[in-house]
Structure 1
Amino acid sequence: MRTRRIPRWLVATLALSLAFIVTPAGTAHAADNPVPIPPNTGLTDSGKGVVSAADSDFVVKVRLAGLWEIPAGNLVAEKGSNPVIKKIGADIAKQHESLDALDRAVAAKLGIMLPNGPNGDQQAWLNEMENAATPEQLDQIFIDRLRAAHGKIFPAIATIRGTTRNDSVRKLAQQTNQFVMTHMTLLESSGIVDYAALPTAPAPAAPGQGPVPIDNQMLLAATEGQSVPGLSNTVILLVLAAALVVGVVTTMRIFRAR
């Protein structure tokens, strides 16, 4: 009985399949793991829900942010020295115009009175920029003042996003958070942020407890959630690899029998 050779295409196909199976899943998908963008599912804008004093204050603060950051961005775009920072200023000013329009729409819907000019501190920052001795100094003041301001409003947005009962304020907080994150990143891309000058976070009142209660059941669930999927994946891969080997052996025997 003459023994037939297994076709090369079959050997190559089986080898590639085996290599794919035994390759760690993390390696295969490492390059395809983008940062998720929050969806708008469930975010309505009907003005329904109680508007708290904190909600109204938040809407006012979003308006105030635009009233000084728009002129500040335009100023550095016109008189700054660094082309990168000039573009950052122009981008932030333009984006704040869009955010300001969203904010004014919510304020009109909820009957919240908005200011038409920056407050005293914001006007002082604008004066500081306008009186900068050199374009380089203007660049630094712009970056320092806006980065500090965005760092202060950031936790305030999280508080409103997590607690408001009003759907329009909730959606505005979501949108504002995405603007602020973008602006912080733009400012930090300048490479001249003085992080040491930024305020530090207050010490936690109860270290280890955090804003979310932690108990033994939660810790156990978290541990199991990390260990079980890894073990299951390993077992599945071994079973698939074994099945493929059995298939190869069976195929070889069939060809030899012929």
Structure 2
Amino acid sequence: MTAVSPRRTLRRLAAGVATVSLALLLAPADAAHADDSIGVVPTTTAGVPLPPLDQSQKGQGEVSPADKDFVIKVRLAGLWEIMASNMAETKSDDPRIVAIARNIGKEHVALDKMDRDVAKQLGIDLPSQPNSDQQYWLSEMHNANPATFDQIYIDRLRAAHGKIFPAIATIRSSTRNDSVRKLAQASNQFVMTHMTLLEDSNIVNYGALPTAPAPAAAGKGPVPVDGQMVAAAQSNTGGLPGVSQTVVFLVLAAALVAGVFTTMRIVRSR
């Protein structure tokens, strides 16, 4: 059997360590946390994912005044947008607008049922008629002729969806109640779909939409960070505030590679 020289052994060890380190550097940082068991939620007849809701149990978690207001707003959105979309199917002469309205109407029917179920679980009283602003928009559409109807329908619904979109995000990220969270999740998916459908009409008057408010602290970044967020981030780093365990591991691997090559140089010099 041929003896292996120390230099050759060190070269092989260095090559092996370098290969492993390179694989770690190229691998996705969150690969170790990947979960292949994520389920697929049911879909509505229009194809939009809709989280399941257990009708036999009351949603777990505290219900805030903002949660109650959100459930009511979802109901109001459904009331007038279903009426508006039904009107569009009969008044519009544009097949694209008719198809958009049909999809939006179907999806709001599904969302409205989920909203009423959540309200029943949590004991929230819901309105049965659109509010005064929504009734005015409906009257605009009712009085419009086919030449002006499409623009009114698209612009009013696009503006309404843009207004409720940030409200959904606030509830989705802050609610303590399971049922309200599922409703917000479904609402977010519906509203995103509806804004895209309305914009696909190619007649949205973007200049008439309200602009975003100026940031409270300009230049501080797009995501506000508070004490709770910092504490949560630090609690997940294994005692090293602001440093992830993955970064620490990669630094140690790089140090090991550097040590091996240094040892090889010392052996060669001897």
TM-score under structure 2 length normalisation? 0.63
Give the letter aligned to residue 158 of structure 1: A
Within 5 Å, give how 1:103-142 maps onto structure 2. Answer: 103-132=115-144, 134-142=145-153
What is the aligned partner in structure 1 of residue 154 from structure 2?
143
Q: What is the root-mean-square deviation in Å for CA atoms of aligned residues?
A: 2.8
The answer as to 2:100 corresponding to 1:88 is yes
Within 5 Å, give how 1:203-242 maps onto structure 2. Answer: 203-209=214-220, 210-213=222-225
Within 5 Å, give how 1:41-80 maps onto structure 2. Answer: 46-80=58-92
The answer as to 2:186 corresponding to 1:171 is no
Shift of 1:221: 6.7
Shift of 1:91: 1.1
1:39-88, Cα deviation, whole Å (9 max, x unpaired): 66x98755111100000000000000010000100101111121100111
- CA gap of 1:139–1:38, structure 2 versus 1, over 3 A, is farther
Q: Larger relative contact order (C-alpha < 8 A, sep ≥ 6)?
A: 1
Shift of 1:38: 9.8
CA contact (8 A) 1:43 1:167 kept: no
What is the aligned partner in structure 2 of residue 34 from structure 1?
none
The answer as to 2:126 corresponding to 1:102 is no
Give the letter aligned to residue 155 of structure 1: P
Shift of 1:163: 0.5
What is the aligned partner in structure 2 of residue 184 from structure 1?
195
Give the letter aligned to residue 196 of structure 2: T
Equivalent residue pairs, number? 187
Q: Quote the Cα distance in structure 2 between the aligned partners of 1:177 and 1:185.
A: 12
Q: Quote the Cα distance in structure 2 between the aligned partners of 1:44 and 1:95.
A: 16
Which of 157, 163, 166 is the equivalent residue of 1:155? 166
Q: Quote the Cα distance in structure 2 between the aligned partners of 1:165 and 1:68.
A: 28
Q: Quote the Cα distance in structure 2 between the aligned partners of 1:168 and 1:118.
A: 24
Structure 1 unaligned residues grouped into runs of 5+ = 1-24, 26-36, 233-258
Shift of 1:114: 0.2
Give the letter aligned to residue 198 of structure 2: L
TM-score under structure 1 length normalisation? 0.66
Shift of 1:94: 1.0
Structure 2 unaligned residues grouped into runs of 5+ = 1-25, 27-37, 42-50, 235-241, 255-270
CA contact (8 A) 1:95 1:179 kept: yes
Give the letter aligned to residue 159 of structure 1: T
Structure with the larger helix share: 1
- CA gap of 1:89–1:164, structure 2 versus 1, over 3 A, is same
SS at match of 1:115: coil
Shift of 1:212: 2.9
